[in-house]
Amino acid sequence: MRVCITISYNGALYLGSQTQTQTSNTIFNQIQNVLKEINIDSNPQTGGRTDKGVHATGQTFHIDIPEYWHNLKKLKETLNKMLPKSIYIKKIIKVQNDFHARYGAKSRVYRYIIKKSKSNPFENDLVSFYENINFEIIQKNIKLFEGEFNFINFMKTGSEVNSTIREIYKTYAYKHKDFFVLYFEANGFLRSQIRLMVGALLSLDDTQIKEQLLSKKIHKIKPAKANGLYLAKIKY
């Protein structure tokens, strides 16, 4: 029986989401180890990936489970008892046998959270602090990223992909209490693309962003910090 599982996690202490052979300190290494303990021998196929220090409120993955785990409520409770407190199973639903968490995704939503102040030890793992930002300009310029572009200049060097063209469906920025939230929804993202786009919003003007998008002129961009980035939702 195939199920799709939605999870949230605090990625501050992990070396990314994807399983690695050289370390067990990743989100899905932890999940896979717990699955094996309850006799589910199925490799999680994820809907998205997050890098070191990045969080999620709506990551998904699918696995095939034995029929004796048909009680999905009990499975959810069992997993949440066994997993570290930094990882939480939000939902488990039965899906068709041909469902694929990655290839079936229609869009992915990320949020980037900024606080305009000095850092503090209570929020430092979860929010990026910048003392000098112009939120009105960010709110205007974030719209420049909407559409289909070759994002080769907004990608971590050394990444291997078949295509660097992505379509961003929706972007906007809003204020929530003391936080500034940047919203990005696209058919997919390149590695570090969002952090580089946020870095551009923090350091470049609208003309420079356009030049970078169209490869007319390349500007040096420092990627925004990982701790403000959240994989918020994967839409199917």
Q: Could you give the residue numbers annotated as active site?
A: 51
Amino acid at 92: I
Vertex 177: Cα angle to 175 and 179 (nearest 5): 55
- Provide the b/e sequence for 206-236 (b: ≥16 CB within 10 Å): eebbebbbeeeeeeebebbbbbbbbbbbbee
Q: Angle between the 27-37 and 72-82 helix axes, to the nearest 10 degrees?
A: 120
User: Distance between CA 167 and CA 185 in Å, rounded?
Assistant: 9
Tokens of 70: 């048909």
User: Distance between CA 142 and CA 18 in Å, rounded?
Assistant: 29
Tokens of 169: 């469906």
Tokens of 32: 């896979």
Yes or no: say if 193 and 166 are a contact pair by the CB < 8 Å rule: yes
Tokens of 104: 């079936």
User: Distance between CA 209 and CA 201 in Å, rounded?
Assistant: 8
